Amino acid sequence: MSGIDDSLLNEADETVRVRLIVNGRKVACEVAPRETLVDCLRDSLELTGTHAGCEMGACGACLVQLDGRAVHSCLIFAVQADGATVDTIEGLSERGAIADLQAEFHRRNALQCGFCTPGMLVNAHELLSQVTQPSREEIRDALSGNYCRCTGYEAIVDAIDAVAKARGTSGGVT
Amino acid sequence: MDLGETAVKARAFSYFRAATIDHALDAHARAGDDARFIAGGQSLVPALSLRLQAPRLMIDITHIDELRGVRREGGHLRIGALTRHCEMLSEPLIAEFAPLLHAAAPFVAHPAIRNRGTFGGSVALADPASEFPAMTLALDAEIEIAGPSGRRRVRADDFFIDLFETALQPGELITAIYVPLFRADQRFAFDELARRRGDYALVGCGILATFAGERIHDIRISYLSVGNTPTRVRGAEATLVGSRLDAVRIAAAQAALEGDLAPPESDEVPPAMRLHLARVLLGRLLGRLGEAA
């Protein structure tokens, strides 16, 4: 890679090609440099499961996995992710990685309007991949960056707690 | 997509992914310094979306190898500027040789922010409510800076100048932070008070103390969220040097805070309340240090 080409400076907002592996599939998008990853996912790739809420990293509705770690897709420009692997709620859902979490959220009414749910699930998925038996306090701490304005959180914590215990009992990780 | 006038989005900019520090510095100069370096972007991207900043060029420094890695160098731990907040929790060298950073890390924002935000970025922004800038003061860290006129190292004591203002000049970037290795005769403590877990702290404090037997030989106490910059409380430090950590000395250090701190007027947290919370926190942390013998 070389230094900057001066002509680049006069090309603000000209689209650039970004290559990603999204949910296991190679994709290429034309994006303006100022376009965030969440906008690219929703508008260019029509993966609307990732929700754009506050668009400033406070609400957690836009969480996706970037190279295996949960990040806010509103706080990264799509060009920055060029070459990266992105897993959205659609991918995690389709390959069954969070089937038990989804079932438990459903069973315990851990959602009402559902706007926050994709972010909650991505976050819970990461938590349980790092800490197999989190305490309720640890679950609450991990969720501190995810807003839910419907449920009061108790059912969400219950659901994650139940899945952690179930996975521990079955001896495996899904 | 349509980035219409109603959208709260960043103004248009060009994007350049730099492979080396020299390329990054050169790009900044060629843009006439109307540029920003971006790494984790966890504070910069919201600032761009709100159009508090609108540079014509964004220089991505996250692919510069020289800015990565944590390693021992002589009596210091060299922490590359791109070290992510989550690595402060997972990197064994940090836990062993810079345990104060390890202890402060869980208080930094939320897990997903910690997955992306960088140590160098946090120090460069110098948010007075952030944990890591304040901890560089407690640790007597040195900040390594690269710029058009070469490399230099600045002590944390000389780095933070005013609200979001540091020793960094336009076109300069932080390459690494050097932290003196933690020693067996030292103790540390960190805690903060917040209305809810994950919120910005009302007051936070980190302490690094060097002991000679049971007496404090040297102590550095640094606060966050008490003013325009991360703040060392030298008056309180002075009351403790040469002393044992007994109730009388702890009370004296707490009393000294009134001369050290002048919290700003704020509707949410009046100065007297913040000063009170700073005293409470100092008492708790010094108590813990005393018990850690």
Return the CATH number at B43: 3.30.43.10
B52 with B137, same domain: the answer is no
Q: Is B17 on the interface with A (CB under 8 A)?
A: yes
B201 with B246, same domain: the answer is yes
Rounded (5°) CA angle B162-B166-B169: 135
Tens of pLDDT, residue by residue over A110-127, are 999 999 999 999 999 999
B74 with B39, same domain: the answer is no
pLDDT at A44 over 60: yes
B263 with B194, same domain: the answer is yes
Q: For residue A148, what are its two tokens?
A: 């839910």
Q: Is residue B2 part of a domain?
A: no
Confidence of residue B293 (pLDDT cuts 50, 70, 90): low
Return the CATH number at B238: 3.30.390.50
What pLDDT, on the 0 to 100 scale, is given for residue B196?
A: 82
pLDDT at B63 over 70: yes
User: Chain B: nearest CA to A107, how far in angstroms?
Assistant: 26
Confidence of residue B13 (pLDDT cuts 50, 70, 90): very high
Sign of CA dihedral A122, B10, A29, A18: negative
Mean pLDDT of B161-189: 97
pLDDT at B19 over 70: yes
Q: Is residue B150 part of a domain?
A: yes
Mean pLDDT of B120-149: 98
Q: How far apart are CA B89 and CA A107, in angstroms?
A: 34
Among B232, B246, B104, which Cα is nearest to B159's?
Answer: B232
Q: Which of B39, B60, B81 is the last residue of a domain?
A: B60
Q: Which of residues 64-93 of A touch B (CB under 8 A)?
A: 66, 69-72, 74-77, 79-80, 82
What pLDDT, on the 0 to 100 scale, is given for residue A171?
A: 61
Residue A124 with chain B: CB contacts under 8 Å:
none
DSSP letter (8 states) at residue A24: T
pLDDT at B215 over 80: yes
B243 with B152, same domain: the answer is no
Mean pLDDT of B126-145: 98
Confidence of residue A99 (pLDDT cuts 50, 70, 90): very high
Percent of chain A with pLDDT over 90: 87
B71 with B136, same domain: the answer is yes
DSSP letter (8 states) at residue A16: E
DSSP letter (8 states) at residue A44: I
Domain containing B85 equals 65-180
Q: Which ranges in chain A belong to alpha helices (H)? A: 37-39, 89-94, 99-107, 117-130, 136-142, 154-170
- The number of distinct structural domains making up chain B is 3
B220 with B276, same domain: the answer is yes
B174 with B193, same domain: the answer is no
B32 with B124, same domain: the answer is no
DSSP letter (8 states) at residue A10: G
Tens of pLDDT, residue by residue over B109-127, are 999 999 999 999 999 999 9
Contact B110 A144 (CB under 8 A): yes
B204 with B242, same domain: the answer is yes
Among B115, B122, B197, B200, the residue to mutate for chain A (most A Cβ within 10 A): B115
Q: Which of residues 130-149 of A touch B (CB under 8 A)?
A: 140-142, 144-146
Least confident of A20-29, A163-172, B55-64, B90-99: A163-172
Neighbour-count burial of B74, counting CB atoms closer than 10 A to its CB (0-12 exposed, 13-18 middle, 19+ buried) = exposed
Q: How far apart are CA A72 and CA A74, in angstroms?
A: 5
B89 with B161, same domain: the answer is yes
Kindly list the structural domains of chain A, giving each domain's residue range(s) and its CATH number in brackets, ordered by start: 6-92 (3.10.20.30), 96-170 (1.10.150.120)
Q: Which of B131, B154, B180 is the last residue of a domain?
A: B180
Q: Which ranges in chain B belong to alpha helices (H)? A: 21-30, 44-49, 85-90, 92-97, 99-104, 111-114, 119-125, 131-138, 156-159, 234-240, 247-260, 271-291
Q: Is residue B38 part of a domain?
A: yes
What pLDDT, on the 0 to 100 scale, is given for residue B3?
A: 53
Q: Is residue B104 part of a domain?
A: yes
Contact A55 B58 (CB under 8 A): no
What pLDDT, on the 0 to 100 scale, is given for residue A172?
A: 53
Confidence of residue B8 (pLDDT cuts 50, 70, 90): confident
B164 with B71, same domain: the answer is yes
What pLDDT, on the 0 to 100 scale, is given for residue B197?
A: 75
pLDDT at B65 over 70: yes
Q: Which of B42, B60, B78 is the last residue of a domain?
A: B60
Cβ–Cβ under 8 Å, residues B34 and B27:
no
What pLDDT, on the 0 to 100 scale, is given for residue B2?
A: 53
Contact B112 A72 (CB under 8 A): yes
Q: Which of residues 95-124 of A touch B (CB under 8 A)?
A: 123
Q: Is B46 on the interface with A (CB under 8 A)?
A: yes
Q: How far apart are CA B158 and CA B178, in angstroms?
A: 14
Top pLDDT among B98 and B199 is at: B98
Q: Which of residues 247-276 of B touch A (CB under 8 A)?
A: none
Q: Is A52 on the interface with B (CB under 8 A)?
A: no
Q: What is the DSSP annotation of B150-194?
A: EEEEEEHHHHEEETTEESPPTT-EEEEEEEEPP-TTEEEEEEEE-
Q: Is residue B33 part of a domain?
A: yes
pLDDT at B7 over 70: no
Return the CATH number at B137: 3.30.465.10
Q: How far apart are CA B205 and CA B285, in angstroms?
A: 8
Percent of chain B with pLDDT over 90: 92
